[in-house]
Each structure stands twice: as structure tokens, then as C-alpha cells.
Amino acid sequence: MKRQIESYLNQEQRLKGALIGISIREAETGKQIYEYMGDTRLHPASNMKLLTAAASLSVLGENYRFSTELYTDGTVEKEIVAGNLYLVGKGDPTLLPETFCSFAFELKTLGIKHISGDIVGDDTWYDKERLAKDVIWSDEQYYYAAQISALTVSPDTDYDAGSIYVAIRPEKYGEKAAVTISPETAYVQLENNTLTGQETDIEDLIIERNHGENVIKLSGRIPKNGEMKEEWIAVWEPTGYALDMFQQALKEHGITWSGMIRYGQVPDTAKLLYRHASKRLAEIIIPFMKLSNNTIAEVLIKEMGKTVYGKGSWEKGIHVLNREIQKLGLKSDTMVIRDGSGISHVNLIPASEITKLLYTVQQAEWFSAFEYSLPLAGAVSRMVGGTLQNRMQHVNVRAKTGTIDGVSTLSGYLKKRNGEKLIFSILINNLLDEDEGKDIEDKIIDLVNHVEER
């Protein structure tokens, strides 16, 4: 194995000037049977989510559910809430537009037709810090760097909370492209400066949202009869986005109010009207890990901080994560951890520590949920294959991918042709093209899969 892998590494021109850390262990014993710079700290990208998933399953449990609640500080009499209505978010990243319709329906079922006071959004379950420390300004507008709020909404069942879906379709030549957003909301405005070009034109669309704004600016050209262009754009201040969804739902169900829409905190003496529970964590980690969902990762970090220390912050959540990975036998003092998703270019973890984690979690009662959440190479279904859907079709691999600028990573489990199960971690940094790292990882896995002797 050593000879074949290192012969390949020495010949691979795309690794010239790059760094690569590799660790391979026997799944049954945990014995490290191969390493190449395995103890060198490298950027893990989304392989960081392996640690976040393990810690959250350990701390919160497979059956953990997020909640969202409706309260009033007044009384309910004769179809009227005499007081304010509070929408209290507690971190659920799976709230959809239709979920808010179910909230309004529940109020209607209680006989409520009017609120005499304000509609108040309470997002104080977490702190006010919306972005992890190292999110770079050019990522801020995209779904994978969306702001984290305890009260938020996802546009679809990928659960990229705090983002909105934008679709651009060509019209007749010379006309503006047709642009739609989902869900429909007045919270976001469109500035459409696009143009439908000739069929032979090259698409050069640009979609932008400026810092501090919720105006999505579109420019450039889309060819006539060309394919639809789509993007998920992060909104500025997702609490307001969720409140807008709630307002729409109330109106659709004929519920009116006299006061204003505002932020605030529910009083301790308020009366609970309705509580909504999310799916179980064992279900939520499927889109989290399969699709490498950054928002869910950061929500889990804050939720662990809130659960253990009573403060939903990155500082407290990462403290909990470090504590949990130490329990799993990892050396947290040899790592730098700044977030839960791996979007940071400051995170540093050795490949050998990742394989150690993947070995020790096999004994955890929640391991089956953890293992199933990993993308399965070559699986046709998106919620099975995930980010490995189109890779290594003929290799039995469950693994977590990772990609940020200049970085490509892959760590997980390989069941070899001879039935032997191995644990591996491949961390490649300083690539000129991070997408080329995927080919290198796949080649290394193929080599290991075909080696019969050690």
C-alpha cells in the first residue's frame, strides 16, 4: 500500500506545491496501517462536519427535536387575542413556508381571528452573532454562508435556512430574463438588469446581494432557449424573513392584527398557545451530512452551547464540541476549531485525528445514524449518494467530502473488494484547483481498494 500510494503521489503533478495528509486504519482494531503526513494539521473543509455530527449526536441525542412556539402575554376571548402574539424561535433550521401556514392554522383552530397587539419575533434563544468568525465577505451572500438566527426559514427541504431560491429563465431575444424567487416575499426585492441574448451567446449572469441589504441585483446575459439558471442567496437578517412568512400565513388564514411587527422577547409570564416540534436529529443529520449543509452545522454548534451552558453561541458550542471529541479519544489541543461547518480557512485538524474519531464512534449507540448520514459513493438517490452521488460508482465507500478554496478532503469508511473494512482520511491543501482534488482522492481510494496485501 505504501509503495503504490507514494509512487502515485510522487508522480501526480497536481500535487506539486500542495500538501496532503493521509491516514488509514483498520476499522476493526483502529490500528493505523498507513499514514502520510497524518499528524500534520491541515484545513479539513467540510470534514469538520464529522466532528460536529458526532458531538451533537452525543450531546443532544438521536431523538432531539428543535421547537418553535407561539405565546401571548394577554388573554384569548371571543376570537381575539387581547395582547401581543409572540413567535419564539429555538433554532429549528427545517422551518418551511408551509410550516408557518400550519402555525396560522393552529391559531385558527383555537378560534383566534384577531390579535389586538403586536406580532413579536423572538430569536433570543441564540446570541446576536449571525456569522462565524472567518466567513469571508465574498461568501456572505450565498446560502452556504447564511446568517444564523434562532428564528429562520428554509426555502426547500435541502434546509439551507436563511436563504432564498432565485430562478432565471430566458425570454424573447432582447427582453429581460424572467426572474422568480421562492418563497415569494416582500422581504427581498429584485433589481433585474438582465438581457435575453441570441441562442449562440454565452451565459454571463451575475447575481449579487450587497452587504446589509435585501436587494438581489441581477445583470448579464442569458441565451435565448438556454437553460434556466438557479441560485440560493442568503438573506440579510433571517429573523425578519421568518416574520414575513408568518405574516403571510396569518393573512391567508384570515387572521388580522392591530399592532406592528417587531422583534422582542417573550415574557416569562406569557401563555403557550402552540408548540411545533421538528424532525428528530437522526433525520436532520441526513441533509446535513449528505448535502454538506453549513447552516445546520452552525445551528448544531449553537444548540449544543445553549443546551450545556445556557448560551447559544459559537464560543460555548465549540467548547462543548472540544469536550465531546476529547471523550472520543481525540487530542483537541492539536487542533484549531473555529466553526462547525468547516467553511473557515483557520480550522486545522490532522488526518490521523479524523480517522481516530471514525474508529471510536463505531462503539457509540448512535453510530448507525451517523454512518447512514455519510454520502454513499455512486448512489443514484440524492439523499443517499449526496455529494458522492457521481463519484466512485464501483467502490463501496461511505464518506464525507469537503471543499473550500484550495482545499479538497474526503474521510470515511471503505469496504474493500476482499471484504476488509478500512477507515481513511485524505486532506489536500494548497491546490491550484480544488476540484482536481476529487480526482486525486478517488485515485487513492481505488489504489487502496485493489491492494490485497500490506
CA distances in angstroms from 188 to 184, 185, 242, listed in the order given: 9, 6, 12
CA distances in angstroms from 83 to 29, 80, 86, 152, listed in the order given: 62, 9, 10, 24
Decide: 424 and 34 in contact? Cβ < 8 Å.
no
Kind plus residue range of the DSSP H or E element containing 75:
strand 75-77
> Residues 378-382: contacts with CB within 8 Å, 24+ apart?
382/290, 382/291
The contacts of residue 365 (CB under 8 Å, 6+ apart) are none
Other C-beta atoms lying within 10 Å of the C-beta of residue 326? 12
Location of C-alpha cell 395582547: 83
Q: Name the DSSP letter for residue 64.
A: -
For helices 48-59 and 351-360, what crossing angle results, to 10°?
30
Find, among 363, 362, 338, 360, the residue nearest to 349 by Cα.
Answer: 338
Q: Helix, strand or coil for residue 47?
A: helix
CB-based burial label for 363 (10 Å; 0-12, 13-18, 19+): exposed
Find, among 234, 182, 183, the residue nearest to 207 by Cα.
Answer: 234
SS3 content of the chain, % helix, strand, coil (to 5): 30, 30, 40
Strands 163-169 and 206-209: unpaired
Widest CA span of the chain, in angstroms?
81
Residues that are catalytic: 46, 49, 292
Residue count of the chain: 454
Distance between CA atoms of 157 and 143, rounded to whole angstroms? 13
> For residue 317, how many C-alpha atoms fall within 13 Å in the half-sphere facing its CB?
25
The three three-digit cell numbers of residue 196, written as one number: 435575453
